[in-house]
Amino acid sequence: MAETSANIPAFGTLLTAMVTPFTEDGKVDYQQAAELAVKLVDDGCDGLVVTGTTGETSTLTDEENLGMFRAVKEAVGGRAAIIAGTGTNDTAHSVHLSRQAAELGVDGLLIVTPYYNKPSQAGVRAHFETIASSTDMPVMLYDIPGRSSIQIAPDTMIRLAEHPNIVAVKDAKADFAAATRVMAETDLLFYSGDDGLTLQWMALGAVGLVGVTTHVATRRFRELIDAVNANDLGTARKINFELEPVVRATMTRVQGAVAAKQILKWQGILPNSVVRLPLVEPDEAEIATIREDLAEAGLVFS
């Protein structure tokens, strides 16, 4: 995969898995999406994942997915890599959406392990290879057994790395031993898929983060990643400790998209915190807990 400089991969090092903003009546708000993308890039993101899990892709139509790709591309294309979340548990549908995303000029594709179907590892490999072969876009695999119910086994990932379009992995299973083997035997670029493990992942050899908490603490995550890349472990540790309650607030109390939208509303970045069913907004007890976590980090909102 081409690199933009000696140490910065073309996907970037700090990527936010963007929320999809909605209007009060539940329609996709493309203007708010564009404005959010600009803010994220201004604050330090050099890549954006559009309509991944945090973008509520499973409740978006194809037209809405493509509209989000188009809106974000028009807003920040050329300033940050635009990675389109086009993976589903239907290989043919994923191919269709990937081809349409490629026509819009995105910079890459995020393809999640096929969920619910529970295919064999041979099926997992065939799924990814079929999608990766459908365009000339670089592909980031998304390994998240907590949502898909199955992992991408190390042997499967090593074989997938032979495909010229499969270049990166977003790892959300935190199996550091398995990742070490894959890193040692392939050229795949690893990204932390767990916000709170960014420092640990980068110490192992990952190039950066695809995060959710990065919506609300973009600049601090930029500083964390830059500190690691500058071999300033002391600064990186300090920032990591400071970010812990923010990560806790965003990632552990309610679903990530729900929490991120709530906090973005408190920050005045989004006008509302609307999500689509089956997601619901946090209740009073959950809001209180999230506020308590944020207060530990000095973030207090009226």
For the stretch 250-302, pLDDT in tens is: 999 999 999 999 999 999 999 999 999 999 999 999 999 999 999 999 999 98
Q: Is 30 a catalytic residue?
A: no
For the stretch 167-213, pLDDT in tens is: 999 999 999 999 999 999 999 999 999 999 999 999 999 999 999 99
Candidates 170, 173, 261, 265; catalytic one: 170
Q: Is 170 a catalytic residue?
A: yes
- Rounded to two decimals, the pTM is 0.95
Candidates 27, 30, 39, 142; catalytic one: 142
SS3 labels along the chain: CCECCCCCECCCCEEEECCCCECCCCCECHHHHHHHHHHHHHCCCCEEEECCCCCCHHHCCHHHHHHHHHHHHHHHECCEEEEEECCCCCHHHHHHHHHHHHHCCCCEEEEECCCCCCCCHHHHHHHHHHHHCCCCCCEEEEECHHHHCCCCCHHHHHHHCCCCCEEEEEECCCCHHHHHHHHHHCCCEEEECCHHHHHHHHHHCCCEEEECHHHCCHHHHHHHHHHHHCCCHHHHHHHHHHHHHHHHHHHCCCCHHHHHHHHHHHCCCCCCCCCCCCCCCCCHHHHHHHHHHHHHCCCCCC
